[in-house]
A and B are shown apart, each in its own frame.
Chain A
């Protein structure tokens, strides 16, 4: 597939469990972004990678959220000790480069996370 791929599409977890969400960006894309989209809201920035380097994690809501991209390709967003307010759609996006260029971000279809 040529697009951004996210898995799983849906995840249901009990409060307190840990979850891991995966993102496969478009091949060759340098930049990778994670967003959180609550119901009725626009996507909100969580964190940004350029290759394997996490350049901005200012949007992560708490230290329970952790993201990595160890080889500069696939990324994983991990949420520890999940809370009900973590329920949202988590979107991943990638682009050719993140350095001051007019390159739009291409989004995956997201993972819908529901915390019971």
Chain B
């Protein structure tokens, strides 16, 4: 039973356009959400996070939106650049219970020239 779901295994976006990666979760105890980026043969790199008390967090080209009622979050990258091609993992944790992070299966983003 997957608690964090990334239903799109892959996504292709034209360079310069907006990339939108989606994530759904089932556990209402989750209160902290993260996005990690992973290049081949490297470990995941922290990208951006959001606490459940917010609905939006922005850092440069990256914005994460959280819709708690729908148990849905999304990562927007604008404008998309070639170096953004990677696998993106959505992750969630329940900070008041433990610090275990539950990851989705990832979405492979291809930025097309």
Contact = CB atoms under 8 A, between A and B. Distances in A.
Interface of A: 4, 6, 31, 33, 35, 40-45, 48, 55-56, 59, 91, 93, 95, 98-102, 104-110
Interface of B: 4, 32, 34, 36, 41-46, 49, 51, 89, 91, 95-96, 98-106
Given A102-B95, A104-B34, A104-B49, A41 B105 contact: yes
Given A100-B96, A102-B32, A102-B49, A45 B44 contact: no
A4 to B, nearest CB: 7
A109 B41 contact: yes
Contact of A104 (B4, B46, B102, B105): B46
22 contacts: A4-B43, A33-B99, A40-B105, A41-B105, A42-B4, A42-B89, A42-B91, A42-B103, A42-B104, A44-B103, A48-B99, A55-B98, A56-B98, A91-B43, A98-B99, A101-B95, A104-B34, A107-B43, A107-B44, A107-B45, A109-B42, A109-B43
